Amino acid sequence: MLKRNLIGLFRSFEQSGDKAKYPGLETRIFKQPKDKLWEELIYVLNKEKYKIVHEVKSVGEIIIEKRTVTGRVQDVTITLYDINPIKTAIDIYSASRGSIGDLGSNYRTILEIFKLIDQKFAEYKE
């Protein structure tokens, strides 16, 4: 976490993936078809009062906008991928608007959203 905060002095984005550099940013895989997981995720995000700016179901992208405590705006893209007909992967990309580093806030935002997803879909997690 300290290392990510130091890197955050210069970098204003973070992303999850299969080969994530930081703990907690690993791609999440669920035993659910993409369409079913999509509907449930949209419902959960709305219920948790995330501001959904754009959603494209055909490509599996949900874009939300989040304000940090300091007032900066983060654009967060949640992407759902079909692994096979009964498995779906979720990755998240978060970037702060502006040219200054994020001090780790995008990292924390991704962890926060993954924590919510992990809790709500624990029964489907692989």
What does the pLDDT average to over 31-49?
A: 95
* Distance, CA of 77 to CA of 65 (rounded, Å): 9
pLDDT at residue 20, as a whole number: 86
pLDDT at residue 4, as a whole number: 53
pTM metric for this prediction? 0.90
Contact 55, 43 (CB under 8 A): no
The pLDDT mean for the chain works out to 90
- Helices 34-47 and 105-120, packing angle to 10 deg: 110
With b for 16 or more beta-carbon neighbours within 10 A and e for fewer, the 55-87 pattern comes to: beeeebebbbebeeeeebebbbbbbbeeeeeeb
pLDDT at residue 29, as a whole number: 97
- Within 10 angstroms of residue 42's Cβ, the number of other Cβ atoms is 16
What does the pLDDT average to over 77-104?
A: 92
Contact 27, 91 (CB under 8 A): yes
Instruction: Please indicate whether residue 37 or residue 72 has the higher confidence score (pLDDT).
Output: 37
| pLDDT at 10 > cutoff 90 | no
What does the pLDDT average to over 89-110?
A: 89
pLDDT at residue 12, as a whole number: 85
Confidence of residue 31 (pLDDT cuts 50, 70, 90): very high
Q: Which long-range contacts (CB under 8 A, 24 or more apart) does 114-118 make?
A: 114/16, 114/24, 114/25, 114/28, 116/44, 116/48, 117/28, 117/41, 117/44, 117/90, 118/28
pLDDT tens digit sequence for 47-86: 998 999 999 999 999 999 999 888 889 999 999 999 999 9
CATH number of 2-124: 3.30.530.50
